[in-house]
Structure 1
Amino acid sequence: MSQFTSEQEAAKSGVYVRKIQSFVKREGRLTSGQAKSIEQNWPTMGLKHIDGLQNFADVFDRQASLVLEIGFGMGKSLVEMALNEPDKDFIGIEVHRPGVGTCLSEAAAQNVHNLRVYEHDAVEVIADCIADNSLARVQLFFPDPWHKKRHHKRRIVQSDFVQKLRNKLAIGGVFHMATDWENYAEHMLVIMSEAEGFNNQSTTNDYVPRPEQRPLTKFEQRGHRLGHGVWDLMFERIS
């Protein structure tokens, strides 16, 4: 793409530029239960990227603080958070279809009404479907660390992505990250400390204790028993 100044310019010239993705879409096997859950619950809890910019006050039929989670996995902790914070509305984004099915099933079983999900690339959903200055919190828990050095460019927490999130967060909104890879935690800390418009909520200017709002997963509990660390970072948008 060296002869072009942007992807848009390349596209206008008929040149396709392959985007670096921060995830690998692993379809896995969709169980009959997951498929049935998607069929039954998608009409009420599913959102489509193709529908573009959303007014979430209309989606949820109320005005409430909006929390966005990127990559919710199987969705158990996301459903738990929505259940524990009924005064907030939650949007989950996940590309793994079995995870979407399980999340919808859990939400329906728990009678959760303040949760909607996208099955799409998070970067595109954030760009096309989320209004500027609308989010109270963005959550990114245990993203793919792309631990090999040659793959670090695929890590989702990069300077340009952080500035895109900044536009979507309201002033005072928080970007909350968590990882069990120390190297990725260090990478996140460097990127966020240098990011314009953010302030670290850590009193030691690095990491914060796990806040009560983030559920402790079985995976994390096992890690603690084995002596593995987990690092939480919370940065507030200040400008």
Structure 2
Amino acid sequence: MKIKNNLKKIKILKKEIYLKEIQSFVIRRKKLSSFNISIIRNFWKKFCIEFSYIKKKYIFENCSYPIILDIGFGNGRKLFFDVVKNSKANFLGVEVYINGILYCIKKCEKHNIKNLKIIYFDALKVLKYMLLNNSIFKIQIFFPDPWKKKKHNKRRLINLMFLSLVRLKLIKNGILHIMTDCKLYYKYILKNIKIFNCFKKFFFIENKHKNSNVKFNINTKYENIAKNKKKNIYNIIYKKI
């Protein structure tokens, strides 16, 4: 009886810890059109994975392909482009904004895409509770919210806890790719990465506009905004050794 009660207390405690974790995002809910509701009803289960512990072999049709985890893919246009361009890679997109998810679902259904799955949940919890260790080839995070105000810094996604999870989930020689236009966040990221001796600088550019030899086929929404404002773009790529 005592053991059962203790187990129950542990479960409750875990649930409380899980709910109290600081979120790196704020959900802005929008009313969905009847068309988008029909998309959810008809195709959500086909392309979206519910929050639960998952195994690599059950996610994709071709489980031998490497997995690229795209965290916070926004409106979904760059992610869809990458998915189409890299047919021999499996993409796992994590996003909390429904419009970008719906865009990807519609495009994937129209083009019969089979190498993309989406998780509608907080990225930190996905890394912590869903993914197997040593299962991801690449983790890419393009223009995460910098939470510039000092009192909001604690909400930043890329911190020591996040990087410790990245270290566990990436395979050997796996890639961590981050882009930001916020200098303070860029310095904060580098400071935290340097604490881990398992990450080796693989490719590094401090100002993308001065490096014409680096080409990306399609920009994210926030990359275009940064370019229009003539802001520096910090492009950081590390390899797990």
Equivalent position amino acid for 1:122 in 2: A
User: In the alignment, what sits opposite 2:230?
Assistant: 227
Question: In the alignment, which residue of structure 1 is the partner of 2:35?
Answer: 33
Which residue number corresponds to residue 3 of structure 2?
A: none
State the SS of the aligned residue for 2:203: coil
SS for the counterpart of 1:160 is: helix
Q: Distance in 2 between matches of 1:14 and 1:30?
A: 30
Q: What is the aligned partner in structure 2 of residue 123 from structure 1?
A: 124
Q: Partners in 1 of 2:40 and 2:228 — Cα distance?
A: 35
1:215 to 2:196 alignment: no
Q: Where does residue 148 of structure 1 map in the other structure?
A: 149
Separation in 2 of the partners of 1:95 and 1:111? 23
What displacement does 1:147 show? Answer: 0.8
Q: Kindly provide the amino acid, as one letter, of the partner of residue 127 in structure 1.
A: K
Q: Distance in 1 between matches of 2:175 and 2:222?
A: 25
**Residue 198 of structure 2 aligns with which residue?**
197
Q: Secondary structure at the match of 1:202?
A: strand
Q: CA deviation at 1:9?
A: 6.9
* Partners of 1:35 and 1:101 within 8 A in 2: no
Q: For 1:46 and 1:14, how far apart are their aligned partners in 2?
A: 24
Distance of 1:14 and 1:128 partners within structure 2? 12
SS of match in other structure, 1:194: coil
Residues in 1 aligned to 2:29 and 2:198: alpha-carbon distance in whole angstroms: 37
CA separation in 2, counterparts of 1:230 and 1:128? 32
Q: CA deviation at 1:39?
A: 2.0
Deviation digits for residues 160-214 of structure 1, max 9, x if unmatched?
Answer: 210111100001001111112121112111111222311111367x678696467
Q: Which runs of no fewer than 5 residues in structure 1 stay unpaired?
A: 1-7
Distance 1:151 1:107 in 2: 36
Q: How is 1:20-169 mapped onto 2 (pairs within 5 angstroms)?
A: 20-50=22-52, 52-55=53-56, 57-62=57-62, 63-169=64-170
The RMSD of aligned alpha carbons is 2.7
CA distance in 2, matches of 1:13, 1:130: 18
Q: Structure 1 residues 24 and 13 mapped into 2: Cα distance closer, same or farther (>3 Å)?
A: closer
Identity of aligned residues (%): 26
Report the Cα offset of residue 10 of structure 1: 10
Amino acid at match of 2:47: M
Distance 1:228-1:213 versus aligned 2 partners, 3 A rule: closer
Aligned residues: 228
SS of match in other structure, 2:20: coil
- Superposed CA deviations along residues 96-121 of structure 1, whole A, max 9, x for unmatched, are 22322122112223332210001111
Aligned to 2:5: none
Point out the more displaced range, 20-29 or 64-73: 20-29
* CA distance in structure 1 between the aligned counterparts of 2:217 and 2:155, rounded to whole angstroms: 25
TM-score between both structures, scaled by the size of structure 1: 0.84
Aligned-pair CA distance for 1:11: 4.9
The answer to whether the Cα contact below 8 Å between 1:207 and 1:234 also exists between their aligned partners in 2 is: no
> 2-side partners of 1:146 and 1:167: how far apart?
25
Structure 1 position 131, deviation (Å) = 0.9
- TM-score (norm. length: structure 2): 0.84
Change (3 A) 1:137 1:213: farther
